[in-house]
Amino acid sequence: MRRCGADLDAAAATGTEGADTVLARTPLTGGTFARLPAATAERTDAAVDEAHRTFHHWRTVPAPRRGALVKRLGELLTAHKEDLADLVTIEAGKIRSEALGEVQEMIDICDFAVGLSRQLYGRTIAGERPGHRLAETWHPLGVVGVISAFNFPVAVWSWNTAIALVCGDTVVWKPSELTPLTALACDALLARAAADAGAPPGVHRLLLGARACGERLIDDPRVALVSATGSVRMGRQVAPRVAARFGRCLLELGGNNAAVVTPSADLDLAVRGIVFSAAGTAGQRCTTLRRLIVHEDIADRLTERMVHAYGQLPLGDPFDAATLVGPLITTAAHTAMAEALATAQRDGGKLLTGGDRCFATEAPDAAYVRPAIVRMPEQTEIVRTETFAPVLYVLTYRTLEEAIALHNDVPQGLSSSIFTQDQREAERFLAADGSDCGIANVNIGTSGAEIGGAFGGEKETGGGRESGSDAWRAYMRRATNTVNYSAGLPLAQGVNFL
């Protein structure tokens, strides 16, 4: 296995060493290769204070000029794409193509945001009073606190930051403690972009630290919006604390995504879409496919093909171009996977393939695990629970109504898909009483969303929307304006007064 530093050890189980230190580690070996100073309470408060003060200037800068900063960031990301992708692979364990794809996603969202900087449209509204104009305008919101997760260490930050900056907000970023080097690299590139574009350095501040750092950010009333990506448990803690101070939340939480496969499906296409969605990123995407709901007439045939495809997946060093499955982020993730598989089998499930750990001799502190497929007799509690690892549960159905009910019978509601060549089945799945997820796809898997659409989900996924479409509105405040250009003062609803 590739070594990623001279000072490798097994001390980093979670990526943090203490309140004063953040450990830079790699899931490729499970070892640590740097110790970085963590943000103190005073440093956190100072970062928010600087961002808050900078906001009062930044919000007055014309939006196209704010877009020039993001344009420059996109240029620097393009120039350093390979280097940043290396860091993503080292810290998150992503295979090379996925790491490069994540950086490309950053470049794409910068392009989107630059165009958006000239399209922050309000609207004119039909009013009832003569000589009056009724309109809606959008204004910068304030400081945006971004809390991101390890599995997309740079892309999710860019979704929030590029949009927030063109909207006139400033950003304070608390990245995952598991990926501090990618965060430092992004912060350095944005600082350079700010200098090149003539923007104040306080438009963005980085805080390396663990839970206490994030909690201080969440509780600060100067942070107008907290955009947090992580587990449902984390969201349950964040939302009420932000609400208690009447701040805003944008939550991107867990997913327990399913694909329905109907008898009319193109199985060649379905297998490709399923394997990428279920095994890509070693099952560590919020959009990872975790439940496969297959018509009983084709279940045996599709399952056999899936098992064969899984057997062909190259697992190992993510820097190797042939590798398709890299390591889990920590050995604790493998423990959770093993426990889930054991529970599923106690519930009557049959493990068809995978679940075993590889390279334990070469990398004893890393967790290389073969993606697993489990045939389940019913949707038990463990199937309804998200396990952040490559575990795919296979369930069967008889009618499409039964499949949709099974699909929706989980607490999460992020991404979904159906494989079918029947237009009626596709439209039924996309209808109001079909998939209850924020993302519903036809003939593609649950992973791989484009930046042009709004990304997010319903139910315990949190209800937030990031990236494209009109997701920018979450980063701004709305004002309704009435302008009286007449000489009279008619009141609305025909009210007479004085």
302: domain CATH number is 3.40.309.10
Query: 498 lies in a domain?
Result: no
Tokens of 133: 């104009």
Q: Helix crossing, 96-116 with 63-79: angle to 10°? A: 160
Asked if 168 and 89 sit in the same domain, the reply is yes
Asked if 241 and 263 sit in the same domain, the reply is no
Q: Residue 248: what pLDDT?
A: 98
Asked if 303 and 358 sit in the same domain, the reply is yes
Strand 248-252 and strand 257-261: the pairing is unpaired
CA–CA dist 371, 390 (Å, integer)? 5
Which residue from 158, 285, 177 is spatially nearest to 227, judged by alpha carbons?
158
Strand 21-25 and strand 248-252: the pairing is unpaired
CA–CA dist 181, 459 (Å, integer)? 33
State the residue range of the domain holding 358.
257-442
Distances in Å between the alpha carbon of 464 and those of 250, 265, 340, 459? 5, 32, 28, 10
Query: 418 lies in a domain?
Result: yes
Asked if 243 and 263 sit in the same domain, the reply is no
Cα torsion at 330, 89, 158, 452 (round to 10°)?
-100
Query: 212 lies in a domain?
Result: yes
What DSSP string describes 155-217? HHHHHHHHHHHHTT-EEEEE--TT-HHHHHHHHHHHHHHHHHHT--GGGEEE----HHHHHHH
H-helix segments, 313-470: 331-346, 400-408, 423-430
pTM exceeding 0.85: yes
Q: Helix crossing, 267-279 with 299-311: angle to 10°? A: 50
Q: Residue 7: what pLDDT?
A: 28
Tokens of 35: 């110790």
Q: DSSP code of 4? A: -
Asked if 271 and 377 sit in the same domain, the reply is yes
Asked if 227 and 376 sit in the same domain, the reply is no
Query: 21 lies in a domain?
Result: no
Query: 340 lies in a domain?
Result: yes
Strand 458-459 and strand 412-413: the pairing is antiparallel
Asked if 223 and 318 sit in the same domain, the reply is no
Residue 202 identity: G
Four-residue CA torsion sign, 232, 238, 244, 249: negative
CATH code of 115's domain = 3.40.605.10
CB 51 within 8 A of CB 205: yes
pLDDT in tens, the chain (498 residues): 333 332 222 233 344 455 789 999 999 999 999 999 999 999 999 999 999 999 999 999 999 999 999 999 999 999 999 999 999 999 999 999 999 999 999 999 999 999 999 999 999 999 999 999 999 999 999 999 999 999 999 999 999 999 999 999 999 999 999 999 999 999 999 999 999 999 999 999 999 987 889 999 999 999 999 999 999 999 999 999 999 999 999 999 999 999 999 999 999 999 999 999 999 999 999 999 999 999 999 999 999 999 999 999 999 999 999 999 999 999 999 999 999 999 999 999 999 999 999 998 889 999 999 999 999 999 999 999 999 999 999 999 999 999 999 999 999 999 999 999 999 999 999 999 999 999 999 999 999 989 999 999 999 999 999 999 999 999 999 999 999 999 999 999 999 997
The residue behind tokens 């279940």 is 299
Q: Residue 18: what pLDDT?
A: 56
Catalytic residues: 252
CA–CA dist 124, 100 (Å, integer)? 42
Cα torsion at 106, 111, 112, 117 (round to 10°)?
120
Query: 28 lies in a domain?
Result: no
Burial code (b: 16+ CB inside 10 Å, e: under 16) for 232-244 equals bebbebbbeebee
Asked if 248 and 325 sit in the same domain, the reply is no
CB 474 within 8 A of CB 250: yes
Query: 495 lies in a domain?
Result: no
Q: Residue 361: what pLDDT?
A: 85
Q: Exposed (0-12), middle (13-18) or buried (19+): which is 361, by Cβ within 10 Å?
A: exposed
Asked if 132 and 233 sit in the same domain, the reply is yes
Cα torsion at 314, 318, 324, 327 (round to 10°)?
80
CB-based contacts of 52, cutoff 8 Å, min separation 6: 142, 143, 170, 222
Asked if 352 and 471 sit in the same domain, the reply is no
Asked if 210 and 351 sit in the same domain, the reply is no
Tokens of 315: 């697992």
Summarised one tens digit per residue, pLDDT across range 367-400 is: 999 999 999 999 999 999 999 999 999 999 999 9
Query: 448 lies in a domain?
Result: no
Helices and strands (DSSP H and E) totals, the chain: 13, 24
Domain count, the chain: 2
Asked if 316 and 222 sit in the same domain, the reply is no
